Amino acid sequence: MRSRLLTAALVIAVSCLSGGFVAPAALGSANQVSMIQDSVQMLDAPPQTMSTFRALGVRTVRIIVVWAQVAPSAEASKAPRGFNATDPSSYPAGNWAPYDQMIELAHQNGLGVDLTLSGGAPRWAEGPGIPPAARDNQFWAWRPSAPAFGQFVRAAGERYSGTYVPPGQTTPLPRVNFWAVWNEPNFGEDLGPQAINGSTVSVAPEMYRALAGQMWSGLLATGHGHDTILIGETAPQGLSGAANRTHPQGLPGDFGQTKPLQFLRTLYCLDSNHRELRGRAAAAVGCPTTAAGSRSFRRQNPVLFEASGFADHPYEFGNLPPTIETSTDPDIATFPRIPTLERELDRIQRIYGSAKHFAIFNTEYGYITHPPNRPNYVSPATAAYYINWAEYLSWKQPRIASTMQYLLYDP
């Protein structure tokens, strides 16, 4: 999500700050990270926003770096002649500037940074057949080139290595040691198409597998091998359905959402019964077609087995508290379903002989409120109660590695 949720708890805390009180840090386990994201506020008023984050007890700020906003000639069909995509100085300095400032301010305020490298993609790094909806939106990515993304990752990894001094400056930029691969890859507006052939073939997981692999390689090549590196960043719900008059592509089609656990199984080359894909079904989604190929899958995709954790955006839609989920769909990943997500991840790891138990990072969460929005949303007081409740439940589950507040103010 790019702009949806009010942070009722933080609005209350901000009002306390204006009255001269400092809000305490959120309660959590010793290793749990308190996170926040509000790109609009950070861009509009960076110093004030970072100061507010610090006063609210935040420990880590999530920043999404939009590839197309950093890349040169992002709307051109070809990259500029002589452009070295692995060299941070080959990118326009002004394109890096907002991110440099946010990272430096976070460092000055004693805050960590979770840097999510994501689309949209520059036009010259996208595949053929771009629909008008994706062509006209810099936040969308259509069949992005994984190797080109890997080059961008290397540039970002070097820039934020802690040793890189930008041209014209005398001191290095701060080091970033917390990274995530792509925002909501199971949402077609972030990574499209999600599915083809009447939505019978889920192609976004294959693209994400390649993007994640390139990010892993790029970060390791620039000295970030011991950093926190997350995969996932999945939206919590999704749709599936055959093609019809209303949805001629079926669902999710180009720009809908794939259910996160369905996305996860295809990412790991498994069918709905957790059997390794074979033959044409495997080839259609970039997976090994034979048992011998599957035996090499873990070695060939280290990021899927060695990443630091799995990031989820466990929003509760319908103004529900964090303990209630009215949907019976087994493939969603809302807050009450985090234990189901954990079991699914563990089962997949075991299939490939891995004992990995991914930590679950909540990297987007919150509630829309009334006021200022429509009356069908919860009140700020109710939202604050739900958010605090979710933090308490997270504290009780040691496998949940972070609590998250998405946005300072309602969009």
pTM attached to this predicted model: 0.93
Domain ranges of the chain: 8-406
Per-residue pLDDT band at 410 (split at 50, 70, 90): confident
CB 69 within 8 Å of CB 119: no
Q: Report whether the peptide linkage leading into residue 372 is cis, meaning its omega lies within 30 degrees of zero.
A: yes
d(CA 234, CA 263): 9
Question: Does the structure show a pLDDT above 70 at 12?
Answer: no
d(CA 388, CA 9): 8
Q: What is the greatest pairwise CA distance in the chain?
A: 66
Instruction: Determine contact, residues 192/142, Cβ cutoff 8 Å.
Output: yes
Note the pLDDT of residue 373.
87
Report the mean per-residue pLDDT for the chain. 92
- The answer on pLDDT for 383 being more than 50 is yes
Cβ atoms within 10 Å of 31's Cβ, excluding its own: 9
Buried b (16+ CB within 10 A) or exposed e, 267-306: bbbbeeeeebbbeeebebbebbbeeeebeebbeebebbbe
pLDDT tens digits for 247-296? 999 999 999 999 999 999 999 999 999 999 999 999 999 999 999 999 99
Handedness of CA 33, 219, 78, 205 (dihedral sign): negative
As a whole number of angstroms, the distance between CA 222 and CA 233 comes to 23
**C-alpha to C-alpha distances, 306 to 114, 342, 359, 397, nearest whole angstrom:** 18, 16, 11, 22
- Model confidence pLDDT, tens digit, residues 157-207: 999 999 999 999 999 999 999 999 999 999 999 999 999 999 999 999 999
Name the CATH superfamily, with its identifier, for domain 8-406: Glycosidases (3.20.20.80)
